């Protein structure tokens, strides 16, 4: 067997009884952290693996087979300061009771550095920060290197796993895929909502055109043409959106321009139910957003549009989901919220429907039985 080099300060897996993974970010980011739980559990089968996430993102990890406990951090400043202090004390007490041997902090959130001190684990790891942030770099026993210069594209899943590599835990290729657990109750409730909206059991494509960041969204005209094409190929259309006024407005404009009758579930689904309706879909079409990552984790084929964001970093972790992006804008991915900060991304609004249709046709030909 070939001997591979390991860090001199690699941890002893046998000494880890409980590990805590911290990911305080948005929904898609949390879902992309799910392989860390799987790899840790495979490397430490005797240990319990917990996670700390924002309460509104819990559905992204709840039910994960490697997860023992899920700690929930409230997002925002709700309630009086006394109430907030009480919640913080209860959360810290619950984590201290677990007596973690290892803390893996996946982002640059300052709470992770504070917890790495307060929980007193034997080992803790985070990414190194630039010079001058000594308080951060001293909070952890291990610091993982990042590409230089900072911001060089690397798949988010791999970046997360780099923290485990720094500890001497190296994931196998088959361990790296994100996973999403869909509760049976969500499957049952989605079936009822689909039928109530007019679904009669036919195969369908799930279309989710919006995003919490609307500069990532495509045009109503383009979406309408793609919906009509998918329908012409024999799939019903289920339209979903978050309960957000901007997403509702976009979908209203799409429905005005398509000739296809859509099964409309906008604003009616919980995150668990959204997972269930994506899981049942024959095809997914959307943009760079959490439903795209959910489709990738659930193995649903399709295509997703990328504009100013970096698809090499945030693209779907699935060979069944095609990334569609402009080939004529050398400035992308600029990582800016629309050209000049205008919230309107030329690389998206000028994207030809034919290019999108070709990608979806390829996904259907490869993965959707006739």
| pLDDT recorded at residue 150 | 59
- Over residues 353-359, the mean pLDDT reads 97
What is the residue extent of each domain of the chain? 13-175, 184-367
CB atoms within 10 A of CB 253: 16
C-alpha distances (whole Å) from 129 to each of 32, 110, 146, 152, 174 are 21, 11, 9, 15, 30
Instruction: Band the pLDDT of 271: cuts 50, 70, 90.
Output: very high
Q: What are 205-250's pLDDT values in tens digits?
A: 999 999 988 899 999 999 999 999 999 999 999 999 999 999 999 9
Fold of 184-367: Rossmann fold (3.40.50)
C-alpha distances (whole Å) from 218 to each of 146, 163, 209, 272, 313 are 32, 35, 7, 25, 20
Model confidence at 4: pLDDT above 80: no
Joined together, the tokens standing for residue 50 give 């917990």
Instruction: Band the pLDDT of 55: cuts 50, 70, 90.
Output: very high
Q: How far apart are CA 71 and CA 37, in angstroms?
A: 14
Instruction: Band the pLDDT of 129: cuts 50, 70, 90.
Output: confident
> Which pTM does this prediction carry?
0.94
Rounded mean pLDDT of the chain?
94
Asked if residues 315 and 306 have their Cβ atoms less than 8 Å apart, the reply is yes
Q: What are 163-207's pLDDT values in tens digits?
A: 999 999 999 999 999 999 999 999 999 999 999 999 999 999 999
Instruction: Band the pLDDT of 66: cuts 50, 70, 90.
Output: very high
Joined together, the tokens standing for residue 182 give 């869909």
Instruction: Band the pLDDT of 132: cuts 50, 70, 90.
Output: low
Fold of 13-175: Rossmann fold (3.40.50)
Question: Comparing 194 with 3, which gets the higher pLDDT?
Answer: 194
Chain mean position to CA 313: 12
- Least trusted range by pLDDT, from 83-92, 140-149, 234-243, 287-296: 140-149
Model confidence at 41: pLDDT above 80: yes
CB atoms within 10 A of CB 350: 12
Model confidence at 149: pLDDT above 80: no
| pLDDT recorded at residue 3 | 53
Model confidence at 2: pLDDT above 50: no
| pLDDT recorded at residue 151 | 63
Model confidence at 131: pLDDT above 60: yes
Instruction: Band the pLDDT of 1: cuts 50, 70, 90.
Output: very low
- Over residues 17-24, the mean pLDDT reads 98
Q: Do domains 13-175 and 184-367 have the same CATH topology?
A: yes
| pLDDT recorded at residue 307 | 95
Helices (H) and strands (E) in the chain, counts: 14, 12
| pLDDT recorded at residue 314 | 94
């Amino acid at each position: 067997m070939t001997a591979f080099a390991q860090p001199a300060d690699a941890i002893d897996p046998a000494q880890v009884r409980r590990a805590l993974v911290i990911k305080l970010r948005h929904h898609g980011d949390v879902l992309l952290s799910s392989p860390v739980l799987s790899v840790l559990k495979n490397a430490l089968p005797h240990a319990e693996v917990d996670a700390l996430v924002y309460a509104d993102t819990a559905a992204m990890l709840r039910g994960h087979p490697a997860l023992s406990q899920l700690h929930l951090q409230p997002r925002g400043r709700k309630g009086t300061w006394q109430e907030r202090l009480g919640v913080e004390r209860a959360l810290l007490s619950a984590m201290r009771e677990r007596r973690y041997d290892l803390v893996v902090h996946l982002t640059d959130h300052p709470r992770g550095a504070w917890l790495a001190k307060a929980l007193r684990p034997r080992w803790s790891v985070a990414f190194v920060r630039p010079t001058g942030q000594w308080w951060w770099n001293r909070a952890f026993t291990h610091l993982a290197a990042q590409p230089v210069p900072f911001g060089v594209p690397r798949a988010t899943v791999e970046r997360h796993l780099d923290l485990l590599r720094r500890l001497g835990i190296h994931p196998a290729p088959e361990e790296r895929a994100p996973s999403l657990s869909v509760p049976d109750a969500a499957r049952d409730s989605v079936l009822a909502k689909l039928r109530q909206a007019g679904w009669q059991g036919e195969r369908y494509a799930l279309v989710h055109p919006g995003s919490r960041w609307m500069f990532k969204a495509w045009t109503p005209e383009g979406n309408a043409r793609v919906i009509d094409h998918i329908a012409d190929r024999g799939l019903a259309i289920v339209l979903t959106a978050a309960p957000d006024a901007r997403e509702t407005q976009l979908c209203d404009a799409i429905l005005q321009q398509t000739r296809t009758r859509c099964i409309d579930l906008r604003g009616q689904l919980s995150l668990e139910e959204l997972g269930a309706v994506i899981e049942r879909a024959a095809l997914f079409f959307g943009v760079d957003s959490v439903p795209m990552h959910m489709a990738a984790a659930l193995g649903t084929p399709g295509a997703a549009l990328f504009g100013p964001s970096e698809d090499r970093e945030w693209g779907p972790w699935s060979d069944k989901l095609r990334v569609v992006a402009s080939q004529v804008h050398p400035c992308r991915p600029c990582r800016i919220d629309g050209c000049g900060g205008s919230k309107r991304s030329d690389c998206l609004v000028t994207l030809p429907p034919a290019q999108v249709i070709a990608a979806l046709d390829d996904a259907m030909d490869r993965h959707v039985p006739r």
